[in-house]
A and B are shown apart, each in its own frame.
Chain A
Amino acid sequence: MTAVLIGLIVLPLAWATLAFLLGPGRGAVPAIVALAVQLGLAATLAHGVSVDGALVHPVGGWGAPLGIELAADGLSAAMLLLNQAIALPLAIYARAYFAADDPAGRHFWPLAGFLVAGLNALFLAADLFNLYVTLELVGLAAVGLVAAGGGTQQVAAALRYLFATLLGSGAYLLAVALVYGAYGTVSIATLLPLVTAEAPRLILIAGALAGIGLALKTALFPFHFWLPPAHGSAPAPVSALLSALVVKASFYLILRLWLGPFAPLAAAADWLPATLGAAAIFWGSWQAIRAVKLKRLIAYSTVAQLGYLFLIFPLLAQTGALQAGVMQVFAHGLAKAGMFAAAGVIIKATGQDTVAGLAGVVERLPVTLFAFGLAGMTLMGLPPSSGFLAKWLLIEAALAQGAWIIAIVALAGGLLAAIYIFRVLRQAFLLAPEGGDVAPVPRTLEWTAFALSATSVLLGLRGVELMRLVGSGG
């Protein structure tokens, strides 16, 4: 099992380096092959954790507090599985998306490799400082991917993104420094018994700093300002990676800290994230309903969908709340990757990025529109999709706690999502305008988008294994 942990970090670093050495625009095939292996590794790990419980590996034989430890419990195994499961189809998609001489794709492969490596390492890191390092790696690779498009709009969006991500990780680093100053350790396991409800005020400040910094990186309302331009202007495969995976990394970290070392302090503030999450759902949905551009609409939908993740915080005492969160991470990750991929196909084919320009798409790109519709089903939380299971678990946990308001917000959010999703589908079902021909697109693009969306729906028919995995070794 140790080899699995190491492999998940070293393999993406290897193909990123190889792609860098091969030169601009190259290195797709090794990346895809390696990602397939990584997916196998992640599945093995998930199975192992599910059967034997959490595992810890001291790198080089040096355990905490001196050395670096890698740890995998149910939560991290689930995140790793999702990470590879989304990155693999997106890599296949990106290979077909970026033409050989496309300037936007020149630096895609090395940056994507570092991104995946950073994410995998983040999910395995067992101490606060390593988490910082991996967080920074992910953030910088993501900014690079947005900027690699090269247009003025993209560079502007990337700069804004860079500012947000650096500010966020800076605040987090400060929090880590405060914690180290107070307790002399950054290992999560060692910190667990040390932090109590009577912790010094400095630790409260550290918790607040870490929370704000990570909320900024997760684009939780009202810190979402950087997300729509960055996700809306990047090339489709990049938007998909960012929306599906990168924002989830900082959410994962919030969850880790909230459930782990900061648990004694967090209980007092549990309605704050939920309130902001509810605001995100309403604000993001409202902006998506009004959006003129297709990718902007999808990006604002991400703002809204991230809101659901924060609704679970007051409910974490209930069984099923954590599962609801992880199910929502899966649902949104798969569906949003599929949706951005589908939008990329539509934009490539019709040459325009507006909702109004979609008329007749149902005749010309039926598979892609089907993919969009399936992803939409998940985002609306309609059965039988993973989004529906997430909603079901969330409402059930809310009822068990008597927190009616959370159930109502989740249900209302589903209806709002229906408005913006069907805004797109309605337009696509309109009769095609005369003479508006579409450019041919590679079939790989259409079918990878379809595969991602279909997975998000099919997961809704069988959530037991995932639930068991999340419940194990937490």
Chain B
Amino acid sequence: MTTNEWLPLAVLASSLMPGLMIFALPESRVGLRTLLNLAGALAKLALVVILIAGVAAGERYGVRFAVLPGVDLAFKVDALGLLFMTLSTILWLLTTLYAIGYLEGAPHRRRFFGFFSLCVTATMGISMAANLFTFFIFYELLTLSTFPLVVHRGTGKAMRGGTIYLAYTLAGGTALLTGIVWLNHLLGHTEFADAGILAGLGSEHAGSLKIIFVLLIAGVGVKAALFPLHGWLPQAMVAPAPVSALLHAVAVVKAGAFGIVRIVDEIYGPEFAQSLGLLQPLAVLAAITIVWGSCRALFQDDLKKRLAFSTVSQVSYITLGVAIFGPLGTIGGLVHLVHQGIMKITLFFCAGNYAETLGIHKVSEMNGVGRRMPLTTLAFSIGALGMMGVPLTAGAISKIWLSDGARAAGMEWAVWVLWTSSLLNAAYFLPILWRAWTRPAPLAWPEEHIPARSWRETALLLLLPPLFTAAATVAAGLFPDAAATPLAWARLIAESEYQMRIAP
């Protein structure tokens, strides 16, 4: 086996191995467990850096194993996969640090970190899958390995959340599987390729291909929380904060959104999907989700639930971008995949900090929290402003590209949807900021767990990750045209999907 075949497997192993070893360790070995976690996360980061350098230099990475005659378990590392992989890897490292601080002294940490590592492994598999068969394997593994994390607390409420989560995701998985087998039956394979693989199939299959598209999108749409399949996401917020942060803001919903990108761009191909008339309905569905999620978020007093509905809305920006025919929209969608990730994880980290430090779970309890926890609230504010698309944040960049794409495709209405969403975002985020910064603090916080020490308003491991991601949000907004930004990478991907050069 050559190095180029080994590297994708090493990426998987760098979280799978620590995960399995953590399961084997006794609960009390805190130090060794932490070491394994961090070593795995850092090793993965190093591998990803090597892969980015290699892919940028035109190197090809991939490996395949026959599972059944004619069906391969196949991995490849391409620009699109790397986008998702890099995002997950960096955020995994941060979330691991955060989780170590968050769960300090809590029971069942072995189980938590074990399954957490398995989840990341599944995410890596999704990003490197070279065909739908492999994608499906890791997509379902992600479902299975998140279930123990959602029900981690073992309460009746957690069980209800977990059951709803399973009902949605397993049903979605069934739809996805049906679509994949059907596609495999028609085509004989399901390999991803730039600009799609279906265009060569005769026009007599157009009807089947439309139904398959619905099945596939329904399958991945569950995880992407596409309306009306989003019902599980707010319920899954019963999970501990790091799970909500990484999995329900990043890995799980992004796995769905990433699946939509792969299916539209690399199975159907944008041109062919457009000729079948599939992109317009998808764009409308994404638009409905964007507005609906924001409207629901307005009325949530529970902070994590408000963030969850905001996620429902924001993830559909990615879908909208993919469904807008033309490279500009694709760039907007892809760049938002990363931008939404860093902004939303900031917000979830902060929500976890409020809950863990002061016992604040509701928006109505946040009066004056800005003075008690200025740094956390600063990070929260940056994340919230980014979500609204305020200039000089990452969110603004996404919105500009999406709007340009919509105009170029003659979809003026989508621009209006984006504006409406921004207004709604402001309507549910600004009151929080107003409360936090200007209203007087109550005499006592609901449940103060961690006392403030000089500038450290909470535990250091809880504070640093959101500050880092908030800084990244600003950086992505300030320097969008620098060399190694998500935007530059998204442009590279869109160029290969549409097989054309795109002027900056």
**A interface residues (Cβ-Cβ under 8 A, vs B):** 362-363, 366, 370, 377, 380, 382-384, 388-389, 391-393, 395-396, 399-400, 407, 411, 414-415, 418, 422, 425-426, 429-431, 460-464, 467-468
Contact of B68 among A362, A366, A380, A464 (CB under 8 A): A464
Q: Is the CB of A464 within 8 A of B144?
A: no
- The answer to whether A400 and B163 touch across the interface, beta carbons within 8 angstroms, is no
**CB of B190 to closest CB in A, whole Å:** 12
Q: A443: shortest Cβ distance to chain B, in Å?
A: 13
Partner pick for A461 among B67, B108, B184, CB 8 A cutoff:
B67
The 0/1 profile, CB within 8 Å of A marked 1, for residues 134-171 of chain B is 00110011001001100100111001001100100011
CB-based A-B contact count at 8 angstroms: 82
Residue of B nearest to A395 (CB): B181
Residues from chain B with Cβ under 8 Å of A407 in the complex: 178, 181
Query: A407 to B181, alpha carbons, bound, how many Å?
Result: 10
By secondary structure, the B interface counts as helix
A430–B174 Cα distance when bound, in Å, is 27
> Is the beta-carbon distance between A383 and B111 smaller than 8 angstroms?
no
- On chain A, the residues within 8 Å of B171 by CB distance are 415
A429, B151: Cβ atoms closer than 8 Å = yes
Complexed CA–CA distance, A120 and B67 (Å):
28
The reply to whether A383 and B181 form a contact with Cβ atoms under 8 Å apart is: no
Distance between Cα atoms of A400 and B147 in the complex (Å): 35
Residues in B with CB closer than 8 Å to A399 are 181-182, 185
CA distance A32 to B364 in the complex (A): 66
> Is B144 a contact of A377 with CB atoms below 8 Å?
yes
Instruction: Considering the complex, give the chain B residue whose CB is closest to the CB of A464.
Output: B66
A162 to B23, CA, bound (A): 44
> In the assembled complex, how far is the CB of residue B80 from the closest CB belonging to chain A, in whole angstroms?
22
Complex CA–CA separation, A82 to B136 (angstroms): 28
Distance of A383 Cα from B136 Cα, bound (Å): 8
Please determine whether B163 and A415 come into contact, CB atoms closer than 8 angstroms. Answer: no
In terms of DSSP, what is the predominant structure of the interface of chain A? Answer: helix
Q: Is the CB of A411 within 8 A of B159?
A: no
> Are B67 and A429 in contact, with the CB atoms below 8 A?
no
Q: In the complex, what residues of B have CB within 8 A of residue A464's CB?
A: 66-69
Task: Enumerate chain B interface residues (CB-CB to A < 8 A).
Answer: 23, 65-69, 71, 73, 108, 111, 136-137, 140-141, 144, 147-148, 151, 154-156, 159, 162-163, 166, 170-171, 173-174, 177-178, 181-182, 184-185
Minimum Cβ distance to chain A for residue B351 (Å): 24
CB closest chain-B residue, reference A381: B177
When chains A and B are docked, how far (Å) is the Cα of A388 from the Cα of B68? Answer: 11
Q: Which residue of chain A has its CB nearest to the CB of B180?
A: A392
Chain A nearest CB: distance from B134 CB in Å?
9
With A396-B184, A418-B166 in contact, is A366–B141 under 8 Å at CB? no
On whether A422 and B166 interact (CB within 8 A), knowing A383-B136, A467-B69, the answer reads: yes
Q: A400 contacts which chain B residues (CB < 8 A)?
A: 185
Cβ contact within 8 Å between B185 and A463: no
Closest to B160 in A: A426
Partner of B140, one of A362, A383, A422, A463: A383
